[in-house]
């Protein structure tokens, strides 16, 4: 019996040794694969090619963990072991306007999630799942069948870290003079998230021809009911001529999640220094789906350009009123960039209501909405009326 027991123990020990050998061989095989990956040179586009085959997140060469884009250093960072990798990306190039007629080349290996509460759409990698909407904080997020649309060719990377952006929001809140005092002191940004906003920037040379009638005020002295009064009249004159102007990077938002007005308040984004689009900059961030195509954005850009041309033509003349001004503009050598802009999105909660704010991820500039105190508004109105009444009586006493 003792001999049989010893034989069984010997058999178990032998099986354990064989199992351990197999395990060691498997570990050696995995380490060899990792070392092979580490020995490959880091060439332009290498990350993206690897992402398309395996995953859209860059893997740390040292420990194999996922890396994220670090805004403050402009590098990929492994939060697990601290390793860093520089991102190789050239300055982006302008695209010929004709390419907008052939929109294509969608986002590979991506899908779209829609917030059922506010309608915002996020583009995420196939391996990622949207858990919460960055615009309203809702958790009822669903995947849609809609495919990501035209792929961007340029990106302005984040340069402001999330902590710094949060500090900027707190400073901005404290400066909202008409906001309730408790809100200004206690409001904190909740669940702030870095989101790339799609936009189109347009360059164009313009030649404009104009004609119109402008007016200049002048005054004549008259006697009315025994009093001397000044009567305003208008002297009209004709104008005509040509005006040339080059417009550089007229920026039009392409997503319904942020208004053009808010985007204008966040500018500038230094789009002339944008980089070629690469997925590495999106590691740890998301992007919103564009809801307007390039041609629709160009029509908006033309409206913006036309308004500026009109204002600049009028600034050449010393006029007080415009009878009419007709301007005909030709657009030449049009180019564009479909660009992703860095914006931190978040909200502050006050009395069960959300107030969105946006932070420029390049400069830290903040815009958004804050609650308004009716008491502060009423006091300001009363004080304003009192000042006007006081000025009126001063004028009656000393100016009459």
Say whether both 74 and 140 belong to one domain.
no
pTM of the full predicted structure? 0.70
| Regions in the chain scoring below 70 on pLDDT | 1-57, 101-149, 190, 399-400
Does residue 218 sit within a domain? no
Say whether both 247 and 120 belong to one domain.
yes
- Position 397 scores a pLDDT of 76
Say whether both 334 and 379 belong to one domain.
no
- Position 8 scores a pLDDT of 55
Say whether both 144 and 203 belong to one domain.
yes
- Position 179 scores a pLDDT of 84
Does residue 219 sit within a domain? no
Say whether both 201 and 310 belong to one domain.
yes
Bond preceding residue 268 cis, omega within 30 of 0: yes
Say whether both 285 and 359 belong to one domain.
yes
Say whether both 262 and 360 belong to one domain.
yes
Say whether both 278 and 388 belong to one domain.
no
Say if CB 51 and CB 58 are below 8 A apart. Answer: yes
- Position 48 scores a pLDDT of 33
- Position 134 scores a pLDDT of 65
Say whether both 83 and 126 belong to one domain.
no
- Position 45 scores a pLDDT of 33
Say whether both 106 and 244 belong to one domain.
yes
What three-state secondary structure class fits 57? coil
Say whether both 364 and 376 belong to one domain.
no
Say if CB 135 and CB 368 are below 8 A apart. Answer: no
Does residue 184 sit within a domain? yes
Domain that holds residue 26: 1-31
- Position 27 scores a pLDDT of 53
* DSSP conformation letters of 191-254: EEEEEEEEEEEEEEEEEEEEEEEEEEEEEEEEEETTEEEEEEEEEEEEEEEEEEEEEEEEEEE-
- Position 283 scores a pLDDT of 86
Does residue 224 sit within a domain? no
Number of domains in the chain: 4
Q: Helix %, strand %, coil % for the chain, to 5?
A: 35, 35, 30
What three-state secondary structure class fits 137? coil
Does residue 223 sit within a domain? no
Cα–Cα distance for residue pair 151/157, rounded to 1 Å:
16
């Amino acid at each position: 019996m003792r001999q049989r027991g010893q034989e069984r123990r010997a058999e178990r020990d032998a099986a354990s040794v064989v199992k351990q050998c197999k395990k060691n061989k498997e570990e050696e095989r995995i380490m060899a694969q990792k070392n092979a990956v580490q020995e490959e040179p880091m060439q332009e586009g290498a990350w993206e090619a690897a992402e398309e085959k395996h995953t859209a997140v860059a893997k740390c060469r040292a420990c194999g963990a996922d890396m994220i884009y670090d805004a403050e250093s402009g590098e990929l960072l492994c939060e697990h072991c601290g390793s860093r990798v520089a991102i190789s990306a050239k300055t982006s190039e302008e695209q010929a306007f004709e390419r907008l007629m052939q929109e294509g080349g969608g986002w590979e290996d991506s899908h779209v999630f829609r917030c059922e509460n506010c309608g915002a759409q996020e583009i995420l990698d196939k391996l990622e799942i949207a858990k919460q909407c960055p615009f309203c904080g809702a958790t009822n997020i669903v995947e849609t069948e809609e495919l990501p649309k035209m792929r961007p060719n340029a990106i302005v990377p984040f340069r402001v870290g999330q902590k710094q952006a949060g500090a900027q929001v707190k400073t901005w809140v404290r400066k909202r003079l008409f906001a309730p005092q408790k809100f200004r002191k206690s409001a904190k940004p909740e669940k702030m998230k870095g989101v790339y906003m799609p936009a189109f920037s347009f360059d164009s040379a313009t030649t404009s021809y104009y004609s119109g009638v402008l007016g200049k005020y002048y005054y004549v002295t008259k006697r009315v009911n025994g009093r001397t009064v000044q009567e305003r009249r208008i002297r009209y004159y004709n104008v005509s001529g040509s005006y040339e102007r080059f417009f550089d990077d007229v920026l039009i938002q392409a997503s319904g999640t942020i208004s053009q007005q808010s985007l204008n308040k966040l500018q500038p984004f230094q789009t002339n220094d944008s980089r070629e689009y690469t997925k590495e900059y999106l590691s740890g961030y998301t992007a919103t789906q564009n809801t307007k195509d390039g041609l629709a954005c160009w029509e908006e850009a033309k409206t913006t350009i036309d308004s500026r041309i009109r204002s600049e033509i009028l600034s050449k003349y010393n006029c007080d009123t415009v009878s009419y001004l007709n301007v005909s503009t030709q657009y030449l050598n049009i180019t564009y960039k479909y660009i992703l802009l860095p914006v931190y999105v978040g909200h502050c909660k006050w009395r069960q209501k959300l107030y969105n704010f946006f932070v420029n991820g390049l400069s830290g500039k903040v815009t958004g909405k804050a609650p308004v105190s009716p008491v502060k508004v009423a006091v300001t109105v009363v004080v304003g009326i009192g000042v006007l009444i006081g000025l009126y009586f001063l004028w009656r006493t000393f100016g009459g």
